[in-house]
Structure 1
Amino acid sequence: MSAHTLFQNLAPDRLAEALAAFGEEQVPPGTRLIAEFDTTDFVLLLEAGEVNVSVGGARVATLEPGAVLGEIGLFTQAVRTATVTTTGPAVVRRLTRAAFDALRDAGNPVASRVERRTLAQLQSRLDQPIASLQAVALGAPVLRVPLLPEPAPGTVAPLSSTALGAVLGTATTFSALNHRHLRRMVPGATLRVFGRDDIITDPDDQPTLHVLVEGAVHAFAPLPASTRHQERVRVAHVGHGQIFGLSRRLGSDPLAYVAQDACSVLSFDGSLATELMEGDSAHASSLRHAAIASLFARLTSANDLLKDASRLLSTAAPAPHRDSLARDEPVQDVVFDPWFG
């Protein structure tokens, strides 16, 4: 297992510590490792054997040794999106939330790797409903909005370091951070106020980490440039205390974030985003946990918008089209991702 990306290049003592945390289990054929719609608090690593993955009773994939399933269960109460069953004798390693927390507290690099992997998988999973909304909007003018105006710089609120620290403490994203971690964030933070329909960040901006302090923000994605490059579609909602603006750092196309009403936003210089993505400190880990919670909320929002769009179009379409849409173009409430099970 030392060759697996989670364990590569670890010092011998750290490798032994990590492998001990991933408890080994010998599993007989036909064992259900994960059940669709369950909530669990562990991640599985398939060491030997194969597993079938099924959604709604239909097999969608067969996974081989090295597959990782269920990271998101370590960080949220999300339901499992698929059932995973062994096809024959198998060996799995199970990392529980308690064991993960122990690795994290010990500063084992594997904990940071699991966090980064979860962020990347969440972003990849979020890209799916966004792409579906872009595709649906091509044939649905009611979902499209005109090209948005230029980004707005916002009005900087001149606050003292103490006041900025107090604002940081009220952001729900950082509620789990202790005062020492919050103080480290203050030097790179700026509080800005935006008016209704102002663009807070735009695809042409440099990657910057933002946190919504007050108000509401919608995320918009462009339609394919070859067809509707002058229009966009709303793809997600940003809630109070959530982090946004990390898409590009996670390998995805950036979105335009637009103030629904007047709102206040904490913007940070690039060093905080770099620490979130690359750091191994306890502070970086806390930032990643906040980003994971934010991305998961964004994914839920995007899936809700996709369901609403499907419902709207089904209601508005003539009966033959409604039947066709229901039969041939179903919108999945949950998209299977083997990393999450």
Structure 2
Amino acid sequence: MNQSELSTHHLETSLSAKIERCFAPLLDSDPDVLQQLLADKHSLNTKRAYEKDVTDFFQTMTGKPPSRDSVLEFLHLEERQAVAVVLKYKAKLISGEGRKAPLTEATVNRRLAALKSLIEMGRKMGTCCFSLEDIKGEKAQKYRDTAGIETHAFERILGQCDRATLAGKRDYALLRLLWGNALRRNEVSQLNVSDFDPGVATLRILGKGRGTQSEIVDLGPATVRAIADWLDARGGNSAPQAPLFTSLDFAHFGHRLTGDGIRKIVVRHSENAGVKKQMSPHRIRHSAITAALDATDDNVRKVQKLSRHKKLDTLMIYDDNRGRDQQDVTEMLDGMF
């Protein structure tokens, strides 16, 4: 057999070979649909949220956490059966049956969305032939309360940080960053030392809903000094991939500061400052956006660069909520007689 005939033989052999010869190890007769759904998400926080919501469904309806078999059993139901089960689950969420209290509309919708994503993944993998299109979410008003705190109140919170201590330097830098850039707590938690560039006063963040795509935000001079002061005082592990903000308690010293850890810092300093409103990192974000609208004379397009809301309509809700139009009109009517 000459070289040409040999090449032709190899080509014909390859074309006639069964696909299973190469891909059989990758094909699973009983796929783990939930794990595939989680693997399809970039953000660790998104993975945790989906897993938590799907687990709640199976725990509520079967009394057990999800397994490969129980997920497949659910996905193999007939559509009328699946819809009936999910409607019962939705009713339990709304009524609060078996829980401390009924869940909010937004939480109900999130749980349903997680189930629909699980079913969609099942459809893609050929293990499910129904959908939940007939099950509608609850009407939920987004951003019902965007009212934050006044600038002077946040100044009091900053004043609670003892900048002579390591914890005080960290908390001061953290709070300034939350206010000056209206960041979300998970955006702050994910920051590494290499994301901070004091030379050009910028920070690289992983924004909400952007997967692994980062974006650069500019920092104010006071925030740059505060972060640099914290890093200088911290010393130790300041390698590029080290977390920018770390825990200082005995049990978790040096570990990345979690979103909940950030929340606790905000709550503690707010209470010490005598702030009565329930505070959180997101409340600071609301406060910063509202203050920015005031400072820019309602320039929503300019403030959109700060808030990084994709839709201008979302930012307009902040603008509407900060106004006192209803009160003004009520007082006008009240004064007519």
Q: TM-score range by the shorter chain?
A: under 0.3
Larger RCO, structure (CA 8 Å, separation 6 or more)? 1
**Greater helix fraction, Structure 1 or Structure 2:** 2
Q: Normalized against structure 2, the TM-score is what? A: 0.25
Higher percent of residues as strand: 1
Q: Specify the structure having the higher radius of gyration (Cα).
A: 2
